[in-house]
Amino acid sequence: MKGKAPIIVIKKKGGHGGHHGGAWKVAYADFVTAMMSLFIVLWLMNTSKQIQEAIGGYFKDPTGTSKKVGSDMQGAGENFILTRENMKELKEQLQRAIRQVPNFENLKNHIDMTVTNEGLRIELLETGKGTFFDSGDPTPNEDGRQIMIALARELGQLPNKISIEGHTDSKQYGKDAKYGNWELSVDRANAARRLMQENGLRDDQVSQVRGFADQRLRKPDDPLDPANRRISMIVQYMQRSYEEKDEPLPAEGGGEGKPASSEPPKPPATEHK
């Protein structure tokens, strides 16, 4: 019929709707990344100061600082290479370790740690009654064993070399004695080495065992003072390679850091008489 509007039929297709795009995947990936970052931050907050500095140093300078802080030892993430910059950190770490020794309160005044040109020097000082060694005995007593074992467990995690020294006072044995201060100082240093290698130090970590008898007195003005009798452990600085130094490599044929000269060497000047 004329004048009537046409009938429009709308059919809806069943099944899934059209393509919605991948925006949700991007949002989900951002969420997972944020969660991973949160877990990493929480983990870093609970790690040691050495690890935090090593990671921070790497991001500041991936080719420089990361070589100076942190350890190149596999499986020893808590460790760090001893340099002049982190010497105080090692000292604090060792002090925390030896505080766990049962008789520490009675021993703390006889343990001295100082920074020297060689490295960190740790000294176990004797008293008149004997603190770490009984008088004349080359074998550590129980207190000496506990302290040395605690130190060995910490120092054994370092890549640094260790020197061990024995010292005595100037009190001499009898004239006919076949055993004296030289033998005692060497024997005590060796006894300390054996004990510490059995409890943490690596076999290749001890570079020197030295006995000085009374030739390097701690108190030269009082050669008989018991404090002159001591065991010293020196944690040596790591030798840095040219790669890690700021100085240029020595040029071939020239001096260190100077280019080789193409001019022939001049003859030495002679003195006219």
pLDDT value at residue 72 = 39
Please, is 94 exposed, middle or buried when counting C-beta atoms within 10 Å of its C-beta (0-12, 13-18, 19+)?
A: buried
Does the pTM of the predicted model rise above 0.95?
no
Query: Could you report the per-residue pLDDT of 83-137, keeping only the tens digit for each?
Result: 777 888 888 889 999 999 988 999 999 999 998 988 999 999 999 888 999 989 9
Please, is 14 exposed, middle or buried when counting C-beta atoms within 10 Å of its C-beta (0-12, 13-18, 19+)?
A: exposed
Q: Average pLDDT for residues 1-20, to the nearest whole number?
A: 64
pLDDT value at residue 74 = 35
> How many CB atoms within 10 Å of residue 198?
11
pLDDT value at residue 63 = 55
Q: Average pLDDT for residues 164-172, to the nearest whole number?
A: 96
Measured over the CA atoms of residue 94, residue 97, residue 103 and residue 106, the dihedral's sign is positive
β pairing state of 206-211 and 162-167: parallel
Query: Could you report the per-residue pLDDT of 28-52, keeping only the tens digit for each?
Result: 888 999 999 888 888 877 776 667 7
Higher pLDDT, 159 or 249: 159
pLDDT value at residue 184 = 97
Nearest to 151 by CA among 116, 100, 115, 89: 100
